[in-house]
Amino acid sequence: MNKSTSIYLDFLRVIAAFGVLLVHANFPWFSNHLFFSDRGLGNKFVMVFFVLSGYLIAFTVKEKNKGSQKYLVDRLSRLYSVILPALLLTFIFDSVGTHFNPEFYLDKMKSDHQAFRYLMNIANLSQIWGFCTYPSTNGPFWSLSYEFWYYMIFWAWVYLEGRKRILGLIIIFCIIGVKILLLFPVWIFGAVAYYMSKRKTFIAKFSVFLFFATLILIFILTFIWDFSFFSDKFIYGEQPLYFSSCFIFDWIYGALIAFNIFCFSYMPVLIKMPTIIEKSVKYLSSITFSLYLYHIPMLVLIAALVSYNKNSYFQIVLILFGLIFVVSLLSGITEKRRGYFKALIEKVFLLLSRRKKINKFNG
């Protein structure tokens, strides 16, 4: 992957993560709709994450393939180095908030079966079949259950062979159900965009035109056209498909994002970015995962306990900058621990392989 494409992917990740933050900061309980009208923006930004994930996982497997076990260790350590701290922070923030202002939380979180909700999200089972549950106030967790199983589907396809591959995929499909599978094409579009970018194609001659053409279409679909035209039978976030309700729009939107990245990969470097901008994009990209999973409990806690003017742009922006600063500090602490998670997961795999060998020997 060339440097400019890497920077562009980081830029898209930053836009998506900070876009989700602004969508949630736009809720009336936090800022009285100061930013923009919600045309399903949160869902659209998550689709960007799915495409980026598919693209980067395909790149990693193709260029840095270290085998089946290494793939699982890398993916699990990446997820749980942020998932577990996010769950802990959610529990702490929501416990403090409900202690001092319980009325404010009545419509922000389900009061029942919280232990079950946390366990389902730890196991990435929160969105399988008819389930749709997230820990306390932390709604963005829904997409992690999708992401985890896309990793597993890709693992089964790449690293298993013959009947094992078919059996592995069938088992995964039976576990996750329809909802998660409905958005899998969005993730796959990202992977396809990477594989296609390695081939010579006539599109390279028109890459600049196609890049800006798709960029305009993406802008229109993001900020002007909502997805109600594509989802007249299902309501986003509600039964039976919950966050997959707008799957037709998501396929179109995801395909456009993927094609846009594909076109960018063929573009000549038109403008060289100043080093400070490159470093800023790189740094902000490094905290996006933490920002995505930490911000909602923090926003709710602030709104519950802090007195401020919800109609003041200055105060809201100041609070958001403070939140981003805190997230950057937390990210520096939690994501630096990824090596510990990786070592722990490797030990688990080692123990399992030893037990398998012992059982085989005894048999």
State the DSSP string of 259-308.
Answer: HHHHHHTTS---SPPPHHHHHHHHHHHHTHHHHHHHHHHHHHHHHHH---
Which pair of tokens denotes residue 142?
């829904």
Give per-residue pLDDT as tens, 171-196.
999 999 999 999 999 999 999 999 99
CA-to-CA distance for 191 and 185, rounded, in angstroms? 10
Give per-residue pLDDT as tens, 26-75.
999 999 877 776 768 999 999 999 999 999 999 999 988 888 999 999 99
358: confidence class by pLDDT, cuts 50, 70, 90: low
Q: Locate tokens 């005894």: which residue?
A: 362
Nearest to 193 by CA among 207, 209, 213: 207
CB atoms within 10 A of CB 228: 13
CA-to-CA distance for 299 and 294, rounded, in angstroms? 9
Give per-residue pLDDT as tens, 292-327.
999 999 999 999 999 999 999 999 999 999 999 999
Residue type, 213: A
pTM over 0.75: yes
Dihedral (Cα; 22, 24, 28, 29), 10-degree rounding: -120
3-class DSSP state of 257: helix
pLDDT at 96 over 90: yes
Which stretches within the chain are classed as H helix? 3-25, 41-63, 68-100, 114-122, 142-159, 162-176, 178-182, 184-197, 207-223, 247-264, 275-286, 288-305, 313-334, 338-362
